[in-house]
Structure 1
């Protein structure tokens, strides 16, 4: 082992932990780096909420038939008494890295945890070891153990501080990643709770909608969808996006969705008129810097001829019409400014299209088609192409496959709604 590598190792560890692999991936990469540059084996044990230890990482050099395989499955470790001499217990008790200069045989263990750890170290061929706590703010949540065999230069006190520093860096990154995932789960739950639980049944049409949170941040957002049936037999669909990625955007999203519902049920009218009234209602809230985009559409089913859909677009990406045969078309009519910009500017009259059997009408937010460093036209072209290739699928399956193909990275929130005019019972 090269003893002149601490600075390079610290730099490599820092770069690896910044790579955003998630807390599990960060731990595995940390163990791999320690094995590559400093140790023969690395073991990482984490504590659960009941302070039980579980082995989650084993990484190292295979030295014999009894050596654990790198990536060996996790294992719950035995409980231990307060004064256990097990490496894990020593590191947790002292709150600092500890050197085991001469690893004892398992037969000398005084408690179940010490025996389990010494048995593992024996399998690793460990002659010396260092155990360091993963600790944030005085709250330990795991331990890193690195070992060297008799064939390697033994660990000494000179490496203890280095391993302790690396463990501290790893603990900060892992804890932040764990908190991020917790916050992301809470944010996603909040967002989903403000969207409709179910969509109405509107035969002969099939309706499906999905909300997908971004994979790159934990904040809630303003993407939404809705569909309601009106007393005269028509029904409405809408997809919108309130600017921002925070709780305020989510609150405004919920407020906007319910205001639209109230306006529709109170006085149904042409979509452009409904959107105009919604814009005025939003302006009367006197909330500065609240803007939103929206496509609101009214569907008129017909048994005597083609059904039709009429829509108004408030600064939103254009709806996509996918016929049963032939190319898809983006629908550009019925446009106007986003909500919250200037309610006094007139809006275009709502646009209409026939809906023939087998056709599909798609609404979506910009997260589906926008990618960093790419022109929007490329995203729209990709969406049209993939929608055509998937149009024979039922709406639920269509949306799942479409989002996976068009926006696999999920750089932004996505709300998407598909309305299919049944050509068969599967729609």
Structure 2
């Protein structure tokens, strides 16, 4: 990061308040999202093993489809925050509407692909003959909720850009409760089986989307922003999101490679890997909450033509990332004996996971820096650099991870490769932030 005047204690406190006010509700909303799948699993699991297996396959496909388009939230947050910083709320909400219209277009396209291709997609995941029909049923019905989930992503980006992370938290909690009630009523009360679970989730998703749309539309009316689709604006949103799509696909490829390598190591290794990966994902939510705050805060400072404020906020958020990473790492080390029995009673799996968990714990401060700087550069609209940096990271990680089985190494070595991956990401992000090239001020980048 380029040099800036020394940050005063009052300024640090102001940044701390901003980070906490945005990050804490964002963390709550992030944690609420995977609870949808957990609730569905708990309810469907009592129908039978085949139904639960079908849900597992369909959920994996749906989660992938939605997570690939996470750029709808990230790119929208940065663009809206810039215009908020520039004091043009009308343009900010208009930018948000372009993102929402793009979400609807992408969602309609995904439905058109998934509905006829559902049996083939389920087959690619190797579902058994007994589970495949349930997976196909769930996938086809739940695909009708994909446009709603993409609207939720885009609208969440709008509100984050407007420096509002509390509304997404309230909507996420309400959606989770509604999802559980609807699932119970339709699965058991209406005796619809796994189809009832899918319909319950779709209804909850569209309910969440409706709430978001009401909030955004009211804001549009208040500030005189047009609600009509604008081809130029939609195209601009897609162009801004394209580099982030490359970044996301590269990250998904890294996680898929890691899982594939773990599977080659043996049953105990892949079982331990899945446990560790679930913990790693949970830890990522805490760090991602700071990143989300970074997207909103940095975008606002740059939109307000305040590069010094953006750099000062960046430095403070890096300190937060390191501190939270240290705390999370210590928690992992201390809780290892308590955490593993929650997932398995197999001593071989536990013994395999224990040393790998140490590697995860030691990497948390690195992860803290990575998540924060990722959010900072997203807030700055520096998507092309993030895409290139992630492709470099993938190019480094893939051969190292694939060599783990060849050298007879185990799961700890694989998570060492994951730590290397995060270290490469950290170095590429630090190079960019220190260069100062991300500091581009104005209402648009």
TM-score range, shorter chain: under 0.3
Higher strand share: 1
Bigger-Rg structure (1/2): 1
Name which structure has the greater RCO, CA cutoff 8 Å, separation 6+.
2
TM-score, with length taken from structure 1? 0.25
